[in-house]
């Protein structure tokens, strides 16, 4: 189950920028790193003793090859990866590798690296790992096919998990990437690794104390003081997944007070990632009660509908109906969705504001959004876009950028998203065009 993307820092305050912001993407050739495992399910079943997942995170570059990298989601359990690299929200993915070339003409001369031993590409953690952990790591594959510069870019500070991941990535061996018949070094996109355990949820005494202090300041409308404590909570070493959820709820509340809806949605989405992972693995112990989770999903739905992100809002509404079909909050959400859906279809050009969000400090940025129309385009770019992908349920393709004409979803392709990568902080407008008569 993926932890899909890092939390974006709120943008309305210079203090918040300096504390949480990231920037500057890598400019080296890039291969795609994704992740993988089991389809989403909320069918009742035995609770798991532990669960983890990797997810791909589009930062920059393109891809043309596929390679399983990480896959088991239970302790000491291996799941066979399928050949579908990208699935709808909150499913596990097959690890994907690809290549970014500076010129489209050079793509035909490039061959991505291949793992010589797929078994070594499976990151395994056994039942001895009893701390929640998540991290973002990057690595290169040199001209001899050996991983190089394997770096943990960010984590919650569980050193034994970091060490296990570093050792296993360094042990991988590849057939090197080739360009013009010569082996070349390439850089993998950031990989997000998440490991959570099904056990009673509790905060450490010190974290709980700080958390309560932050909410006291919040209640007094001293949001700067609450933010200062939120920074401490974000950097709290070894924080567990419940503490991560609590921090994200606090950060989302602060973002809401500062009218930063994009940051608010980013923080709430992180809560959904962890709660959904626990639900999908039939955990006995989740992170928020069902009624609170419905409110969080409903707030995300409101934010998505306000931005006319109709396809993404549809996915959120599906989650709400799975959890609480027939309840007043779900009925109201469904009515709201239908109203916006009518307004959406009445417009010839539906515009969504996008911004490339980094996974870690000084890392590349990425942004995804579901598509409800077959024709779409990008305009008003402020920054740098390095690649644009169309990612659908069964297929994906690299899109020429910049493009003179709107892009078109091929007939038969469903559940499609646009996936944009480039310099973190780049802003642009996504247009979804009505069919021409």
User: Which token pair is 77?
Assistant: 């359990």
- Does the residue 8 lie in any domain? no
- Does the residue 285 lie in any domain? yes
Q: Which helix (H) or strand (E) holds 18?
A: helix 14-20
Is residue 359 a contact partner of residue 153, using CB atoms and an 8 Å limit? Answer: yes
Is residue 99 a contact partner of residue 41, using CB atoms and an 8 Å limit? Answer: no
State CA 349 to chain mean position distance: 27
Residue found under tokens 């291969």 = 31
Q: How many domains does the chain have?
A: 3
Strands 50-56 and 191-197: antiparallel
Could you tell me if 23 and 126 lie in one domain?
yes
CA atoms in the 13 A half-sphere facing the CB of 435: 6
Could you tell me if 193 and 209 lie in one domain?
no
Residue span of the structural domain in which 232 resides: 205-346
Is residue 8 a contact partner of residue 262, using CB atoms and an 8 Å limit? Answer: yes
- The three-point CA angle 108-109-115 to 5° equals 100
Q: Rounded CA gap, 51 and 118, in Å?
A: 21
Could you tell me if 122 and 26 lie in one domain?
yes
- Does the residue 380 lie in any domain? yes
For residue 377, the tally of other CB atoms under 10 A from its CB is 19
Is residue 51 a contact partner of residue 74, using CB atoms and an 8 Å limit? Answer: yes
Q: In what order do the strands lie in the sheet with 427-433?
A: 349-355, 427-433, 375-382, 407-408
- Does the residue 4 lie in any domain? no
pLDDT tens digits for the chain (437 residues)? 333 333 333 332 333 333 343 333 333 344 433 332 322 333 334 444 344 433 333 343 333 332 223 333 333 222 222 222 223 222 223 233 333 334 444 445 888 899 998 877 778 888 899 999 999 999 999 999 999 999 999 999 999 999 999 999 999 999 999 998 999 999 887 888 999 999 999 999 999 999 999 999 999 999 999 999 999 999 999 999 999 999 999 999 999 999 999 899 999 999 999 999 999 999 999 999 999 999 999 999 999 999 999 999 999 999 999 999 999 999 999 999 999 999 999 999 999 999 998 888 889 999 999 999 999 999 999 999 999 999 999 999 999 999 999 999 999 999 999 999 999 999 999 999 998 75
Is residue 193 a contact partner of residue 153, using CB atoms and an 8 Å limit? Answer: no
Could you tell me if 87 and 24 lie in one domain?
yes
Could you tell me if 368 and 334 lie in one domain?
no
CA 385, 53, 6, 364 dihedral sign is negative
Could you tell me if 280 and 412 lie in one domain?
no
Could you tell me if 163 and 225 lie in one domain?
no
Q: Rounded CA gap, 144 and 406, in Å?
A: 41
- Does the residue 230 lie in any domain? yes
- Does the residue 69 lie in any domain? yes
CA 142, 146, 147, 149 dihedral sign is negative
Cis peptide before 402 (omega within 30 of 0): yes
Choose one of 197, 223, 241: the last residue of a domain.
Answer: 197
CA quadruple 300, 302, 305, 307: dihedral, nearest 10: -80
Is residue 272 a contact partner of residue 323, using CB atoms and an 8 Å limit? Answer: no
Could you tell me if 296 and 187 lie in one domain?
no
- Does the residue 246 lie in any domain? yes
Could you tell me if 312 and 226 lie in one domain?
yes
Could you tell me if 411 and 312 lie in one domain?
no
Q: What is the CATH number of the domain that holds 317?
A: 1.25.40.10
Could you tell me if 354 and 339 lie in one domain?
no
Choose one of 197, 226, 255: the last residue of a domain.
Answer: 197
Burial (CB count <10 Å: 0-12, 13-18, 19+), residue 83? exposed
State CA 69 to chain mean position distance: 17
User: Which token pair is 339?
Assistant: 């109203």
Could you tell me if 335 and 363 lie in one domain?
no
Is residue 297 a contact partner of residue 272, using CB atoms and an 8 Å limit? Answer: yes
Q: What is the DSSP string of 215-233?
A: HHHHHTT-HHHHHHHHHHH
Residue found under tokens 């297929």 = 395
Please report the pLDDT score of residue 437 as a whole number: 54
- Does the residue 112 lie in any domain? yes
Q: At what angle do helices 310-324 and 328-346 cross, to 10 degrees?
A: 160
- Helix (H), strand (E) counts: the chain: 9, 22
Choose one of 197, 217, 247: the last residue of a domain.
Answer: 197
């Amino acid at each position: 189950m993926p932890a899909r993307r890092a939390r974006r820092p709120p943008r309305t305050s210079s203090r918040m920028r300096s504390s949480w912001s990231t920037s500057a993407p890598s400019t080296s050739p890039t291969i795609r790193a994704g992740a993988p495992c089991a389809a989403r399910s909320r069918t009742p079943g035995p609770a798991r003793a532990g669960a983890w997942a990797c997810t791909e995170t589009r930062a920059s570059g393109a891809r043309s090859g596929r390679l399983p990298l990480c896959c088991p989601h239970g302790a000491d359990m291996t799941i066979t990866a399928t050949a579908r690299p990208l699935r709808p929200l909150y499913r596990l993915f097959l690890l994907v590798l690809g290549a970014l070339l500076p010129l489209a003409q050079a793509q035909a001369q490039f061959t991505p690296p291949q793992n010589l031993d797929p078994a070594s590409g499976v990151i395994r953690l056994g039942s001895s790992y009893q701390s929640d952990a998540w991290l973002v790591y990057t690595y290169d594959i040199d001209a001899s096919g050996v991983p190089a510069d394997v770096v943990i870019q960010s984590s919650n500070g569980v050193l034994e998990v970091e060490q296990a991941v570093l050792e296993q990535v360094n042990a991988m061996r590849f057939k090197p990437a080739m360009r013009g018949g010569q082996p070349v070094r390439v850089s993998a996109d950031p990989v997000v690794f998440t490991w959570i355990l099904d056990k009673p949820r509790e905060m450490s005494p010190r974290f709980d104390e700080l958390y309560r202090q932050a909410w006291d300041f919040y209640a007094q409308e001293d949001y700067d003081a609450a933010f200062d404590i939120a920074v401490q909570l974000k950097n709290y070493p070894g924080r567990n997944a419940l503490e991560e959820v609590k921090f994200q709820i606090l950060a989302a509340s602060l973002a809401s007070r500062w009218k930063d809806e994009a940051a608010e949605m980013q923080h709430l989405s992180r809560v959904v990632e962890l709660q959904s992972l626990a639900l999908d693995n039939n955990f006995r112990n989740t992170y928020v009660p069902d009624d609170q989770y419905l409110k969080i999903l409903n707030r995300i739905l409101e934010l998505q509908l306000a931005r006319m992100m109709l396809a993404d809002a549809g996915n959120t509404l599906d989650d709400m109906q799975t959890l609480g079909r027939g309840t007043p909050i779900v009925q109201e959400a469904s009515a709201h969705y239908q109203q916006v859906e009518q307004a959406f279809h009445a417009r010839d050009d539906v515009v969504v504001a996008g911004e490339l969000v980094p996974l870690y400090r000084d890392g590349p940025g990425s942004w995804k959004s579901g598509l409800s129309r077959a024709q779409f385009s990008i305009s008003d770019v402020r920054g740098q876009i390095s690649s644009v992908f169309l990612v659908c349920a069964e297929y994906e393709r690299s899109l020429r950028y910049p493009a003179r004409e709107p892009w078109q979803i091929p007939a038969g392709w469903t559940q499609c998203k646009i996936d944009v990568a480039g310099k973190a902080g780049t802003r642009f407008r996504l247009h979804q065009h009505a069919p021409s008569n």
